[in-house]
Structure 1
Amino acid sequence: MNPDLVSVLRCPVCADRLALDGRTARCAQGHAYDLAKQGYLNLLPAASNGIEGDSAAMVGARTVFLGTGYYVAIRDALILAAGLGADDLVVEVGAGTGYYLAGVLGTSDRRRGIALDVSKYAARRAAKVDPRIASVVCDAWKELPVVDGSAQVVLNVFAPRNAKEMARILAPDGRLLVVTPNQQHLAELVDVLGMVSVDEDKERRLQDSLDGAFVRTGSEVVEETMSLDRTAVEQLVLMTPSARHLNYRDLLQQIAVLPEPTIVTLSVTLSTWRPQ
């Protein structure tokens, strides 16, 4: 892990900056955190132990599905909206495998990224996706282990939103990019496969969750159709929260009767926010 990136992290116990000493991150108060052999740093507060993040199976399915490029339209929209400088820091809250974060960093060697996720399985993947990214396990609902005002961009793609903390880690002129699903998103599969549907009050909940900490400065709909074979449909379902309540055998039987390819709608809103 890059020592410069560790210096942007802070201790989850005392909030002092961390510094890398060999394979251990330490703060001035003596709190120490060893790098996992897979390359990520676990800064999950003791009170958050036992929180259920994405499982190994969910992360594996997401790696396969995103690797096929079906969601590249979302990543491309984020790249354009980020408008990064040559040496900016990007933090993704709920980063998963780091797919979007690595894309937004682009080709500049001086750009840096921090991938935050509660899942150790996701952190393992993100730690290896790009050497410019520091992968950190943390609880998005607690204080984020990132120094105040250090990020030029914060990404939040289908992930929890802790407005107060995201505003704290953003630079005064920084921006928050949020991706949320629309009602049409995956609509062809929701009822047929028993997937979790998009909340009709999604837009109001988004505004309420960020109100007081952020001001919206822009919004765009990213929408296209995807032509998915049955394997891609399976991976898509298994990477979502729906995987937690679906019976796998039943799911395979339901997928088996779908036409091949199945036409599925990708429909999300990318909104841009600035700290208030």
Structure 2
Amino acid sequence: MLVCPKCGKRLVREGQSYRCERGHCYDVARQGYTNLLIRKQKESGDNAGMVKARSSFLEAGYYACLREALKQIIDALSPACIVDAGCGEGYYTSALIGEGRTVYAFDLSKHALMKCARRSNDLHCFAASCFALPLSDHCADLITSLFAPFAQEEFARVLRAGGHVLKVEPGRRHLYELKELLYDRVIENEAEAVRYPSFALEKEWLIEDVIEVRGAEHIEALFQMTPYYYRSPREGARRLRACASLRTTIQFHVELYGRSCG
């Protein structure tokens, strides 16, 4: 399943390390994750502040409808081996755990992986790029790509025949009312299912709810989770931060892909 990122040989857990037959060794950090990035790759992704803000917001239950929907979809698929490509702090990843399952979680942020690994001993967490997964060919029953880059070619390599890829992205009206505070003119998100040569779209779902975000801390955390945090007009950000609570639509486009026969 796991392969050495340097030589491609099988990686085996030995105590607090992973080793391959050629002697390459990767230690499990005391925080519970293992760095499988090779020298030319660098850790990046979310910093400690971003991870803390996102964790605080998600663990308050604002996006619980999505987490529960994903759990139901995945339970119906009954996968034995799941790969979460871009796991972040693990809020959704922890919902993938089930009896008889093995869950591998990959991300570039060590801060996110520390949080993810602490959620459960049943999560196997690694620093690695979703475009260069340290996994053998055709080993995964399910790959999840939740608000993360969609590495089509790598997913096709790793996914077994009959397996699935589950993708989540914001729906058209996701956080629409938040955007109304930030911008004078609001444009809906693009949310059309993408056609990938390696995959065939099997099912789609639209998960939506209306939430009320209470308190400056959670409003700021939600703001930091969006791309608008870095490109909103100063006046719009001021209006948002002046709110004691925010009532807004949340909407998620969920797509289930299988291997293409073409």
Query: TM-score under structure 2 normalisation?
Result: 0.89
**Quick check: 1:219 aligned with 2:204?**
yes
d(CA) in 1 for partners of 2:205 and 2:58?
21
Query: Does the Cα contact within 8 Å between 2:81 and 2:103 map onto a contact in 1?
Result: yes
Show CA shifts across 1:36-76 (max 9, x none).
11110111132222x53011111111111111111111111
Contact residue 90 and residue 101 of structure 1 kept, 8 A: no
Instruction: Note the C-alpha offset of 1:227.
Output: 0.9
More moved, 172-181 vs 76-85: 76-85
Specify the code of the residue in structure 2 equivalent to 1:257: A
Which residue number corresponds to residue 40 of structure 1? 33
Match of 2:166 in 1: 177
Q: Which runs of 4+ in 1 moved over 3 A?
A: 197-202, 240-248, 253-256
Which of 208, 222, 225 in structure 2 is aligned with 1:236? 222
Structure 1 CA distance, aligned partners of 2:172 and 2:108? 27
SS at match of 1:127: helix
Unaligned runs of 5+ in 1: 1-7
Task: Please point out which of 88, 104, 113 is paired with 2:80.
Answer: 88
Structure 1 residue 129 and structure 2 residue 119: aligned?
yes
CA contact (8 A) 1:73 1:222 kept: yes
**Long gaps (5+) in structure 2:** none
Residue in 1 that maps onto 2:255: 271
Change (3 A) 1:200 1:228: closer
Q: TM-score, normalised on structure 1?
A: 0.84
Query: Could you say which residue in structure 2 is the equivalent of 1:5?
Result: none
Separation in structure 1 between the aligned mates of residue 27 and residue 231 of structure 2, nearest angstrom:
34
Whether the aligned pair in 1 keeps the contact of 2:106 and 2:125 (CA below 8 Å) is yes
- Whether 1:99 and 2:86 are equivalent positions in the alignment is no
Q: For the residues of structure 1 that align with 2:4 and 2:90, how far apart are their CA atoms?
A: 22
Could you say what secondary structure the match of 1:54 adopts?
Answer: coil
Q: Distance in 1 between matches of 2:41 and 2:187?
A: 27
Aligned residues: 256
Deviation at 1:242, TM superposition (A): 4.0
For 1:273, give the aligned amino acid: Y
**Residues 201 and 246 (structure 1), Cα distance of their counterparts in 2 relative to 1, 3 Å cut:** closer
| Distance of 1:172 and 1:61 partners within structure 2 | 38
Q: Looking at secondary structure, tell me which structure has more helix per residue.
A: 1
CA distance in 1, matches of 2:16, 2:200: 40
Shift of 1:150: 1.9
Matched with 1:73 is: 65
CA RMSD of aligned residues (A): 2.4
What secondary structure is seen at the aligned counterpart in 1 of 2:40?
A: helix
CA distance change for structure 1 residues 199 and 37 in 2, over 3 Å: closer, same or farther?
farther
Q: Structure 1 pair 147/55, CA: closer, same or farther in 2 (3 Å)?
A: same
AA in 2 matched with 1:225? V
**Any idea what the Cα deviations from partners look like across 1:119-146, whole Å, max 9, x if unmatched?**
00011011111111101111123x2112
The aligned counterpart of 2:153 is 164
Aligned-residue identity in percent = 31
